[in-house]
Amino acid sequence: MGIKSLDDLLSEGVSGRGVLVRSDLNVPLDDGTITDPGRIIASVPTLKALSDAGAKVVVTAHLGRPKGEPDPKFSLAPVAAALGEKLGRHVQLAGDVVGSDALARAEGLTDGDILLLENIRFDPRETSKDDAGRLKLAKALVELVGDDGAFVSDGFGVVHRKQASVYDVATLLPHYAGKLVAAEVKVLEQLTSAGERPYAVVLGGSKVSDKLAVIENLATKADSLIIGGGMCFTFLAAQGLSVGSSLLEESMIETCRKLLDDYGDVLHLPVDIVVAEKFAADSPAETVAADKIPDDKMGLDIGPESVRRFSALLANAKTIFWNGPMGVFEFPAFAAGTKGVAEAIIGATEKGAFSVVGGGDSAAAVRQLGLAEDGFSHISTGGGASLEYLEGKTLPGIEVLGRPNN
């Protein structure tokens, strides 16, 4: 797939040209304050390179889930300020998405200027199922960069979405993968094809149903697939064990049983569980064997013996993918499993393994538990996108970049 890169665009020449960039600036906000600027920082290299090269940069992005109309709660204003700070240059914010203010500001750009459009999801056509509607919005975006404009796709967190600013614009303009998208795709390709063995996958998080497709796909590829988190209880139940009041997806038990039958030697389940009476930070914790979970208790973390066994598997791995916390890491009493497994992955990475963390909560866990982010080879900015890639799905925002540029 011949996807053109940002370097290709730079060597074609961008000075004085309008370049539309789709970035992922969807950061968590608490009362207007950005609590984790990770995605803004990850977006800087592409924008800086274009601005340095004298492009007139028009950036489009979303924030949260507004209901297809302007809503001050979801304004990109705090993001524009933070982005300007990280870039070390002024970032203008348009008062609308593709309206008169955006148009006037786009026309007024001089070489190297950066304009951020207001939250693209203020326009209902962005996420519309109606192809014609999306195309209209895409055409309005194209108008902002003019006839000789170009499109750079750098929002990895949204490339699994067939949306106007992700997919449709790329059908209208010469298109290029930004630095972030190129880096993420390279990592995922390395995981799926060129990875060195043994290949260990660690999956956790709350729901089996969310991740069933990825479990099914990776069970055929990985040498070991370690399962923890809330999803392990449906697997334990499939083995005939009683799981008390732990998270359980009854409708998935049969599927889990079949997975255990088919891939029993690849799948690894916890042998001990940290249980508590209720889902609360201060509920007294106790460790029990996985086949001795009391009826009136729920499992909120994997136990220390499970951490030891999982760590031993990870110590030999040469390629590791981790998605989903091993327990309710948000409560300190139930964070040890996630921390232990993360440390084992960092240890393997130090010995030369290639390790990738995907998933919003997993990345948050790394930071919250005080682990070094550079202890992993790569922390993906896109949870959903990386999982869909590993499920073997075609990502519309990547597929479209592989089409011929005209």
Question: Which of 66, 157, 360, 396 forms a contact with Mg ion (CB under 5 A)?
Answer: 360
Please say if 360 is a catalytic residue.
yes
Shortest CB 248 distance to Mg ion, Å: 19
Catalytic residue (choose from 207, 309, 318, 393): 207
CB nearer ligand ADP, residue 206 or residue 283: 206
Q: Is 206 in the site for ligand ADP (CB under 6 A)?
A: yes
Catalytic residue (choose from 360, 382, 383, 397): 360
Give every CB contact of residue 301 below 8 A, 6+ residues apart in sequence. Answer: 273, 274, 285, 326, 327, 328, 333, 334, 335, 336, 337, 338
Decide the pairing of beta strands 298-302 and 319-323: unpaired
Q: Is 323 in the site for ligand ADP (CB under 6 A)?
A: yes
Shortest CB 383 distance to Mg ion, Å: 6
DSSP 206: S
Residue 99 burial (CB count, 10 A): 16
CB nearer ligand ADP, residue 174 or residue 205: 205
Please say if 384 is a catalytic residue.
yes
Alpha-carbon torsion 217, 219, 224, 226, what sign?
Answer: positive
Q: Is 157 in the site for Mg ion (CB under 5 A)?
A: no
> Would you say 95 is a known binding-site residue?
no
Catalytic residue (choose from 84, 375, 384, 392): 384
In degrees and rounded to multiples of 5, residue 325 shows phi and psi of -60, 150
And the tokens for 68?
């297809």
Any idea which residue has 């914790």 for tokens? 285
CB nearer ligand ADP, residue 8 or residue 330: 330
Query: For the residues of 10-26, what is the DSSP string, one character each?
Result: HHH--TT-EEEEE----
| Binding partner at 247 among ligand ADP, Mg ion, none, C-beta below 5 to 8 Å by kind | ligand ADP
Please say if 108 is a catalytic residue.
no
Residues 173, 149 contacting (CB under 8 angstroms): yes
Which parts of 216-245 interact with ligand ADP (CB under 6 A)? 229-230
Binding residues for Mg ion, rule CB under 5 A, total 2
Q: Is 272 in the site for Mg ion (CB under 5 A)?
A: no
Q: Is 113 in the site for Mg ion (CB under 5 A)?
A: no
The SS3 of residue 311 is: helix
In terms of phi and psi (left: phi > 0; alpha: psi -120 to 50; beta: otherwise), the region of 191 is alpha
Q: Is 325 in the site for ligand ADP (CB under 6 A)?
A: yes
Task: Mark residues 71-110: x for contact with ligand ADP by CB under 6 A, - for none.
Answer: ----------------------------------------
Shortest CB 361 distance to Mg ion, Å: 4
Considering only the stretches 78-86, 140-148, 231-239, 355-363, report the one whose residues sit in contact with Mg ion under the rule CB under 5 A. Answer: 355-363
| Binding partner at 362 among ligand ADP, Mg ion, none, C-beta below 5 to 8 Å by kind | ligand ADP
Measured in whole angstroms, the distance separating CA 80 from the mean position of its chain's CA atoms is 21
CB nearer ligand ADP, residue 174 or residue 340: 340
Decide the pairing of beta strands 272-276 and 319-323: unpaired
| Binding partner at 356 among ligand ADP, Mg ion, none, C-beta below 5 to 8 Å by kind | none
Question: 17: closest CA among 91, 111, 107?
Answer: 111
Residues 158, 166 contacting (CB under 8 angstroms): yes
Question: Which of 111, 223, 330, 343 forms a contact with ligand ADP (CB under 6 A)?
Answer: 330
| Binding partner at 323 among ligand ADP, Mg ion, none, C-beta below 5 to 8 Å by kind | ligand ADP
Residue 12 burial (CB count, 10 A): 13
Beta bridge partners of 175: 151
To which H or E segment does residue 224 belong?
Answer: strand 224-227
Report d(CA 298, CA 245) in Å as an integer.
5
Q: Residues marked as binding for ATP?
A: 211, 299, 330, 359-362
Task: List residues binding ligand ADP (CB under 6 A).
Answer: 204-206, 210, 229-230, 247, 299-300, 323-325, 327-328, 330, 359-362, 383
Binding-site entries = 24-26, 39, 62-65, 121, 161, 211, 299, 330, 359-362
Q: Which residues are catalytic?
A: 39, 207, 360, 384
